[in-house]
Structure 1
């Protein structure tokens, strides 16, 4: 089969002929129909993200996908050949221990999980991928979506993990900070799907916020942030009818903490703030305000193994509308061009590779 293999970060990326994997216990071999690219894949390949710990030796890159099971290994009882599935890069070691290792297949792991990544190094930018069963979710009942449309659901799974962590409930008000980023926009669409009374889309680009509001519908309220904590917090509180039940922070590489602090101060008493973004500085927490308001601050990395099933249920039921996220499709051989496109793609555009 054909596969895009990287020998090391900053090393040579080659479109290789490699042996098609054989199923092993607890795995399925999937014929890839589509894979969506991360915006930072080019920087990752070029070695500009040294925080990442890749698998040892040449490995197939790619982090998610949609495909059809070609074969199953031993100790696989429910998944069947011919079944359409969605693939996740997030894999947690299935051992009954206090803190099982977790990795992102085809991408990275923490140093203490390197052995797991060495065992499951290869991702989805290939004609076939061998995946552990815990990273595979049946996509039955979604035949109306072709593979290039369905694969865009990967844009939603990470923020969905954060909204689950924050216990977003129907009838609540949600503030999304960083709403004009790819994951922030997906969080807005998810908030609507999960029954939020209103979703406050917060960011600094007014025209981009209005586009997000158009995509999300009448329950989405755009709020342009000025960078002043108390002023922005008041605007968010006013937009949410006196204070939000939950704030979801998905800022990317923020150089100052102001918008995150504004989201925190937008909460009503007993509100929750979920942190899933990234920041290049410290977050100074107002101890007394957090205590007096009974605010809850939650960090979240990725999502539980059950999240993809629940996310696909939202899509299957029609509650989640992903039609605003437009796939732009490249053939597998044109990965280099696709990586360039992904680096500059807008929040409502998804760069997709199709073998």
Structure 2
């Protein structure tokens, strides 16, 4: 049997329960992964609470979790990409918060031996979102990019990718996170009134692109005011004001090629995944509450 997180009604983190289920057998093109780590995303909270129900309805009892790292325990018919005992990381749809997950081989890459399990379980979602977004915004060498919520899961990786690609990253965050942002290579700036003026003082040559991870009125209006080309302002968060201002809505385009590039940067020492805190699987409700505070530096991860 395998312990799995489920919920049978929308609500607070208290609706999350752990049940025992049969792990199942992998089919063609799939492997059974014994999960070692799985990160909790803001989406998991929105989905559990019912805020995404009109777009992504739950089917009760509903499982959770979209990024995963673990050890291959069984392979499906015809699978040659991975063997039993291989360490892997990748993504899966609403099935990672469990001791076992069945995952397609086209959603996994090999985990480097030197990558900690918590980082491996937290790289796929935020990493691919940050990578997709910066590529969509055309960020490249010589650019100056403004990254809102730069200490969060997506933001902290976006900062490092921008720096690795030769861009200058200015990151908004509360004062307590400024030293952390400096350690990632960003120029930190505090939120609040006068943000656009503070950014102008830091970037006299102008801001070429902006990635917004929070989509507040202040962050959206500041981004639009600072970046000349509206096609280079985007958000991964939701706020109707973004559409009114012409801010692009960005999403993740996942691929093993994209994830491999992120893994290679990690191996080269150019990318790290900040782990705010880890929780055992039986404390999944507490992990959800932590993410809901909105004050997470990097990622919250469940470990099995």
Shift of 1:47: 3.4
Query: Which portions of structure 1, spanning 4 or more consecutive aligned residues, are displaced by more than 6 angstroms?
Result: none
Q: Secondary structure of the equivalent of 2:35?
A: strand
In the alignment, which residue of structure 2 is the partner of 1:224? 190
Shift of 1:156: 2.7
Structure 1 distance, partners of 2:237, 2:51, is: 19
Structure 2 distance, partners of 1:63, 1:351, is: 13
Equivalent in 64, 73, 98 of residue 67 of structure 2: 64
Q: Kindly tell me: are residues 82 and 249 of structure 1, through their superposed partners in 2, closer, same or farther at Cα, counting changes over 3 Å?
A: same
Q: Secondary structure of the equivalent of 2:241?
A: coil
Whose radius of gyration is greater, 1 or 2? 1
Q: Secondary structure of the equivalent of 1:260?
A: helix
Equivalent in 158, 165, 181 of residue 213 of structure 1: 181
Over the aligned positions, Cα root-mean-square deviation in angstroms equals 2.8
CA contact (8 A) 2:156 2:181 kept: no
In the alignment, which residue of structure 2 is the partner of 1:190? 161
Q: Kindly tell me: are residues 321 and 338 of structure 1, through their superposed partners in 2, closer, same or farther at Cα, counting changes over 3 Å?
A: closer
In the alignment, which residue of structure 2 is the partner of 1:246? 209
1:343 aligns with 2:298: no
TM-score by length of 2: 0.85
Equivalent in 166, 170, 174 of residue 145 of structure 2: 174
Q: Kindly tell me: are residues 239 and 51 of structure 1, through their superposed partners in 2, closer, same or farther at Cα, counting changes over 3 Å?
A: farther
Equivalent in 232, 236, 241 of residue 272 of structure 1: 232
In the alignment, which residue of structure 1 is the partner of 2:133? 162
In the alignment, which residue of structure 1 is the partner of 2:8? 7
Structure 2 distance, partners of 1:270, 1:76, is: 45
Structure 2 distance, partners of 1:347, 1:186, is: 14
Q: Secondary structure of the equivalent of 1:143?
A: coil
Shift of 1:227: 4.1
Q: Secondary structure of the equivalent of 1:251?
A: coil
1:25-83 CA deviation, whole Å, 9 max, x = no partner? 22111110111112464554343554452343423211211111112223433233222
Structure 2 distance, partners of 1:338, 1:30, is: 22
Equivalent in 241, 246, 260 of residue 220 of structure 2: 260
Structure 2 distance, partners of 1:16, 1:143, is: 31
Name the stretch that deviates more: 41-50 or 13-22.
Answer: 41-50
Aligned length: 299
Q: Kindly tell me: are residues 168 and 49 of structure 1, through their superposed partners in 2, closer, same or farther at Cα, counting changes over 3 Å?
A: same
Structure 1 gap ranges (5+): 90-104, 107-122, 287-296
Structure 2 distance, partners of 1:74, 1:162, is: 36
Equivalent in 161, 171, 176 of residue 201 of structure 1: 171
**Higher relative contact order by CA 8 Å / sep ≥ 6: 1 or 2?**
2
Shift of 1:22: 0.3
Query: Larger % of helix: which?
Result: 2
Q: Kindly tell me: are residues 38 and 194 of structure 1, through their superposed partners in 2, closer, same or farther at Cα, counting changes over 3 Å?
A: same
Structure 2 distance, partners of 1:75, 1:8, is: 38
1:82 aligns with 2:32: no
Equivalent runs, 1:316-355 vs 2, <5 Å: 316-322=267-273, 325-344=274-293, 346-355=295-304
Shift of 1:158: 1.6
In the alignment, which residue of structure 2 is the partner of 1:96? none
Structure 2 distance, partners of 1:76, 1:183, is: 32
TM-score by length of 1: 0.74
Shift of 1:215: 2.9
